[in-house]
Amino acid sequence: MPLFNSQDILVVGAGVLGLCTAAELVRRGHGVTVVDPGGLNASAVAAGMIAPAMESAIDDLSSDHAKLLRRARDAWTDFAEATGVRLARDPAEWRGENVEVLAGRLSALGFGHACDRESGRLTTNEDWKVEPAQALAALGGRVRMVEARATGLSREGERWRIDTTAEPLSADQVVLATGASDLMEGLPEDAARLLGMVAPIRGQIGLVGERLVEHVVRGPGAYIAPMGQGCVIGATMEAGERSLTPDPERCARMLDAAWAVLGQAPRPLTIEWRAGVRGATPDGLPMAGAVERGLHLALGPRRNGWLLGPLVAGVIADEVEGRSSKEPTLAPRRFI
């Protein structure tokens, strides 16, 4: 039960940050409603990787940034058990060029790994994974869902009102987890300014019925990860792109890169290509926290939404209950 009075909360957006936040608030005893138009979102168009080691090495992150990603991964242990999300802790592997460079970065950041320079392979047990479909279903099953598009936000005395395409809703507190979507009407000036900083990044992946790998395998230009009975090939990072129509040329290049990573000759595969649009902030870290009294943001995790979900959820839930943020570097107002 929460240490503070239970509150009525609206979460706008049913991606990983929105649903993790909603599930954490329900776990603490709050009444939560999630508003979302439905359909595939960027969190569904993903491999579900919880990968602080590989992400830190590939992007050459600072020590502080890498430590934050490690804390985010560790937050999954209790969160997954409480919410019914299934965690896979199989090894993650890098194949191809840059093995020694990546191994050096992992060593400097304190991530455990094994490196075989002769074969050009690097393996770590520090990265985990979820199945996005199973995880979204588990998280969404814990909250009241309203299938509608939020169109406007306004104050009604001490409460907030959200206008939607289904019905108006009101709550003590509101969490905006709207990704890189268009701004709704009526946003307070600071909130509108901050949401306007979230830039779209399109990611394309391919769902493959054949199981090409038994654990995550990454390399130059592509990754291949287990997914259900098959696998997923991903992923592009296309800054400024919003189209949800897959690009055949880019997908073909990604498939060629995947075969090269696997060291196999191309062969026919049945692939369902998908595209999703993620949000990114100017510094690459999400916005998590209050922008004004009773209004919170959970936005912009770049490609690390699944990794950061429970950490962001904990930050929002603490602030809803009147506690200070344990992750002040994620405060939205750092940009104002």
Same domain for 224 and 168, yes or no, is no
The residue segments making up the domain with residue 262 are 199-278
Give the tens place of pLDDT for each residue, 220-263. 999 999 999 999 999 999 999 999 999 999 999 999 999 999 99
Q: What is the DSSP letter of 97?
A: T
Q: How many C-beta atoms surround the C-beta of residue 182 within 10 A?
A: 8
Integer CA distances (angstroms), 306 to 19, 29, 53, 165, 310, in order: 11, 23, 14, 28, 8
Domain boundary (278, 299, 315) is at: 278
Separation of alpha carbons 333 and 188, rounded Å: 13
Same domain for 228 and 270, yes or no, is yes
Same domain for 265 and 298, yes or no, is no
Split into its structural domains, the chain has a count of: 2
Domain boundary (278, 297, 322) is at: 278
pLDDT in tens, the chain (336 residues): 334 456 799 999 999 999 999 999 999 999 999 999 999 999 999 999 999 999 999 999 999 999 999 999 999 999 999 999 999 999 999 999 899 999 999 999 999 999 999 999 999 999 999 999 999 999 999 899 999 999 999 999 999 999 999 999 999 999 999 999 989 999 999 999 999 999 999 999 999 999 999 999 999 999 999 999 999 999 999 999 999 999 999 999 999 999 999 999 999 999 999 999 999 999 999 999 999 999 999 999 999 999 999 999 999 999 999 999 999 999 999 999
Is 178 part of any domain?
yes
Give the tens place of pLDDT for each residue, 255-266. 999 999 999 999
**DSSP string for 279-309:** EE-TTSS-EEEEEETTEEEEE-BTT-HHHHH
Is 104 part of any domain?
no
pLDDT at 1: 37
Same domain for 185 and 147, yes or no, is yes
pLDDT at 142: 86
Hey, CA dihedral for 124, 125, 128, 131, is it positive or negative?
positive
Same domain for 220 and 274, yes or no, is yes
Same domain for 225 and 165, yes or no, is no
Is 240 part of any domain?
yes
Same domain for 260 and 296, yes or no, is no
Same domain for 240 and 204, yes or no, is yes
CATH code: domain of residue 317: 3.50.50.60
pLDDT at 5: 54
Same domain for 147 and 164, yes or no, is yes
In terms of Cα–Cα distance, which of 276, 280, 307, 236 is closest to 42? 276
Is 212 part of any domain?
yes
Is 61 part of any domain?
no
Is 124 part of any domain?
no
pLDDT at 233: 98
CATH code: domain of residue 207: 3.30.9.10
pLDDT at 69: 98
Same domain for 193 and 286, yes or no, is yes
Structure tokens at 322: 């009147």
Is 310 part of any domain?
yes
Separation of alpha carbons 297 and 231, rounded Å: 33
Domain boundary (253, 278, 303) is at: 278
Same domain for 203 and 260, yes or no, is yes
Same domain for 194 and 287, yes or no, is yes
Is 130 part of any domain?
no
